[in-house]
Structure 1
Amino acid sequence: MRLLGVGMLAAALMLGPAVAPARAHSGEAREGGGAPDASGAGELRELSGVGWALKETGKDARFRGLAAVSRTTAWVAGSKGTVLRTVDGGRHWHDVSPPAAAADALELRDIEAFDARRAVALSIGEGETSRVLRTEDGGRTWTEAFRNTDPRAFYDCLTFFDSRHGLAVSDPVDGRFRVLSTDDGGRSWSVLPDAGMPEALQGEAGFAASGQCLVSSGPRDVWLATGGGTVARILHSADRGRTWRAAESGIPAGDPARGVFALAFRDRTTGLAVGGDYRTGQPSPLAAAVSADAGRNWSPSATPPPAYRSGAAWLPHTRSAALAVGPTGTDVTGDGGRTWRALEPGSFDTVDCTPDGSCWAAGEKGRVGRLERR
């Protein structure tokens, strides 16, 4: 189960320089501290002519894993062991699927990339179908860095703090979420002690829907989103996963299909949570929340997205603008997640933005888009 002035946002989305970040995308620090703008009207005005430009991949896989490196470079990972990479802004996609993953039709639900050559991908499932794969040559060759041998474990998401330190999380084993750790860029992994992990609720698990149930910001902070239990919780660690503190998100749970599906932190204090009920046609009220204190407390969005959302990302170089995506469309906030409004319809599962001012999204039937001025 990442400071341009606000008036330059649209230009940054279209014309930002192709500068590859030094660290994996989900753990990068965002610029611009302080509280989000209360109205966000200026930032939303900059999005009035912006939308998703689809980038033909030639594949029909469902891409729930996305690692956006820059305006030109992105990786996607998905069903049937498929991994694609572009280095020209999506005009061409290279099939760099790991042969073993493709042969076993693994579900690749998360991918983290450091640049155009180095990436780490996670496959999900019970027992040995949960694996971590790594490439250092743009996907020409892959190494299996971890294979789960515990039939009780089911890995959902991974994240990196920097190019060396990262974590992956499994659904609870023996009543606690299990956490894997690497300090060599994903070459080797070890299970962390669970003494600092709170006990899981009955039925509680993570959702492997977008690669965003485990996210990090800065060198040590990481958050884990849950659902399926009586309440949907968000767990926070400030020491790279050794000790955790749980908080209720306020997003409805109480069912295996409901809870928090994605998190996004602009910095180590300011966060968003989105989710709902992933079943088609089921209502998803109050399916977004915000935190201003590193996830110790969460407040429901006054106007949440109208339906289930599985992915979220802060728009680059803004203080209060963010995106949320799901099967029924994309929503945008200009006030740090307090209120959301529709940007456009169309199905995406996950979204990611980069330091050079670009945003990418990916989803079903090989669908990939980049946010551009129309």
Structure 2
Amino acid sequence: MSAALCVMAVGVGTVSPAAAARPGAVDGRAPGAVKGGWRLTDSGSDARLRGLAAVSRSTAWVAGTKGTVLRTRDGGRSWRDVSPPGAQGLEFRDVEAFDARHAVVLAIGEGEASRVFRTQDAGATWSESFRNTDPRAFYDCMTFFDRRHGIALSDPVEGRYRIVSTADGGRTWRLLPGRGMPAAQPGEASFAASGQCLVSSGPRDAWIATGGAAASRVLHSSDRGRTWTVAATPVPAGDPARGVFGLAFRDTAHGIAVGGDYRPGQPSPRAAAVSGDGGTSWAAATAPPKEYRSGVAWLPHSRRLALAVGPTGSDLTFDGGRTWHTFDTGSYDTVDCAPDLGCWAAGEKGRIARLGG
């Protein structure tokens, strides 16, 4: 596939790789074709932005280092700094937004560095709704099943991953019992690289991506985090820098996992896998991205098209994650798509881009 890819049809997924590689080509059978690849916007920030929530083609939220939260309502033409006051020392790694006014952000770190903030007025004001008081816990990611129900994930404490839950849109959080969580492997953890180490699909299903241990694994819950099953993946681990970094499920059955070795210059073979049974089993991608990828997203209304991003580029799949084609070499850490076909990516040095024109 040409690196000058300029069309990605996101309507019904009927465009072919050959058509997409032709400059200016549009598959007329696929409504909502997106032209132009990634188009960088001027964020006005130099923060590394690993948290991203795509609300629509016009509205998106990003979060990152130095306590940074930005929001756009005009398709990225301008970004407003809506960071919580006094949060400059925090590392935001995940943001979940319900619309242009309501969002929840997660700060990572040991002990009290792990916190959750919530806004209901577009970032004009924020309330801190959770602060971790256990020095052994380190929260990485969060996800919401709907506007009220969500969960957040900590690396293992006493040999098991830890989950806190909200049933009121992030206003309050409670620790879930750990008896339904399988034992963690020695050295196992999740990567707070893209806000996608914990994801959900539908009203009750959630998945956790892991690495750093002998095997990379994906844990699955069908009851909003109370009980979990576990499956090994073919993505290489065996080192604190390797494993599954990001997950995406287009429904409760079909998932994609991406990862590799995040250290620059290190090889990342077999850095993607797919599941067709809700994460019960995983098969290696036959032609995975050639380098480490930290974020992945299904393109809306498609059964086969998805995007993966990482510090060295972006890839597209036309067959549900089995084969991948690089179309951009810019640096991004995370990617997300909204139901109206608005896809966004964000990363280092304040980079934020929207897919298409």
2:52 is the alignment partner of 1:59: no
1:190-220 deviation per Cα after TM superposition (whole angstroms, max 9, x unaligned): 0100101000000000000000000000000
Structure having the larger proportion of residues in helix: 1
2:147 is the alignment partner of 1:174: no
Question: Could you tell me which residue of structure 2 aligns to residue 127 of structure 1?
Answer: 111
Map 1:179-190 → 2, pairs under 5 A: 179-190=163-174
Measure how far apart 1:48 and its partner are.
Answer: 9.2
Which among 289, 301, 308 is matched to residue 285 of structure 2? 301
Measure how far apart 1:254 and its partner are.
Answer: 0.4
2:283 is the alignment partner of 1:311: no
Map 1:75-154 → 2, pairs under 5 A: 75-102=61-88, 105-154=89-138
Question: Could you tell me which residue of structure 1 aligns to residue 304 of structure 2?
Answer: 320
Question: Could you tell me which residue of structure 1 aligns to residue 4 of structure 2?
Answer: none
Answer whether contact 1:263 1:271 (CA < 8 A) is retained.
Answer: yes
Structure 1 distance, partners of 2:129, 2:18, is: 46
Name the aligned partner's letter for residue 48 of structure 2.
R
Structure 1 distance, partners of 2:164, 2:34, is: 42
Question: Could you tell me which residue of structure 2 aligns to residue 208 of structure 1?
Answer: 192
Map 1:23-38 → 2, pairs under 5 A: none
2:54 is the alignment partner of 1:68: yes
Local SS of the residue matching 2:356 = strand
The runs of at least 4 aligned residues of structure 1 exceeding 6 Å deviation read 39-45
Structure 2 distance, partners of 1:180, 1:256, is: 25
Question: Could you tell me which residue of structure 2 aligns to residue 4 of structure 1?
Answer: none
Name the aligned partner's letter for residue 53 of structure 1.
R
Measure how far apart 1:326 and its partner are.
Answer: 0.2
Measure how far apart 1:9 and its partner are.
Answer: 6.6
Show structure 1 runs of 5+ residues with no match. Answer: 1-7, 13-31
Answer whether contact 1:43 1:334 (CA < 8 A) is retained.
Answer: no
Answer whether contact 2:10 2:299 (CA < 8 A) is retained.
Answer: no
Local SS of the residue matching 1:240 = coil
Local SS of the residue matching 2:248 = strand
Local SS of the residue matching 2:86 = helix
The two structures have a TM-score, normalised by structure 2, of 0.92
Identical-pair percentage = 67
Structure 1 distance, partners of 2:41, 2:87, is: 24
2:226 is the alignment partner of 1:249: no
Answer whether contact 2:214 2:237 (CA < 8 A) is retained.
Answer: yes
Question: Could you tell me which residue of structure 1 aligns to residue 329 of structure 2?
Answer: 345
Name the aligned partner's letter for residue 167 of structure 2.
D
Answer whether contact 1:9 1:317 (CA < 8 A) is retained.
Answer: no
**1:165–1:48 distance in 2 versus 1, CA, 3 Å:** closer
The two structures have a TM-score, normalised by structure 1, of 0.88
Local SS of the residue matching 1:157 = strand
Structure 1 distance, partners of 2:86, 2:251, is: 37
Question: Could you tell me which residue of structure 2 aligns to residue 286 of structure 1?
Answer: 270
Name the aligned partner's letter for residue 87 of structure 2.
A
Question: Could you tell me which residue of structure 1 aligns to residue 210 of structure 2?
Answer: 226
Measure how far apart 1:50 and its partner are.
Answer: 3.4
Answer whether contact 1:43 1:321 (CA < 8 A) is retained.
Answer: no
2:240 is the alignment partner of 1:240: no
Measure how far apart 1:161 and its partner are.
Answer: 0.2
Measure how far apart 1:101 and its partner are.
Answer: 1.2
Name the aligned partner's letter for residue 117 of structure 1.
R
Local SS of the residue matching 2:87 = helix
**1:118–1:231 distance in 2 versus 1, CA, 3 Å:** same
Local SS of the residue matching 2:66 = helix
Question: Could you tell me which residue of structure 2 aligns to residue 17 of structure 1?
Answer: none
Structure 2 distance, partners of 1:265, 1:41, is: 26
Question: Could you tell me which residue of structure 1 aligns to residue 3 of structure 2?
Answer: none
**1:9–1:343 distance in 2 versus 1, CA, 3 Å:** closer
Local SS of the residue matching 1:274 = strand
Question: Could you tell me which residue of structure 2 aligns to residue 361 of structure 1?
Answer: 345
**1:122–1:372 distance in 2 versus 1, CA, 3 Å:** same
Measure how far apart 1:41 and its partner are.
Answer: 6.5
1:134-189 deviation per Cα after TM superposition (whole angstroms, max 9, x unaligned): 00000010000000000000000000000000000000001000001000000000
Question: Could you tell me which residue of structure 1 aligns to residue 30 of structure 2?
Answer: none
Answer whether contact 1:40 1:321 (CA < 8 A) is retained.
Answer: no
Structure 1 distance, partners of 2:20, 2:227, is: 37
Answer whether contact 2:71 2:79 (CA < 8 A) is retained.
Answer: yes
Q: Structure with the greater relative contact order (CA < 8 A, sep ≥ 6): 1 or 2?
A: 1
Measure how far apart 1:358 and its partner are.
Answer: 1.2
Answer whether contact 1:130 1:148 (CA < 8 A) is retained.
Answer: yes
Answer whether contact 2:152 2:163 (CA < 8 A) is retained.
Answer: yes
Structure 2 distance, partners of 1:88, 1:49, is: 18
Name the aligned partner's letter for residue 334 of structure 1.
F
1:38-88 deviation per Cα after TM superposition (whole angstroms, max 9, x unaligned): x87677875795310001011100000001100000000000000000001
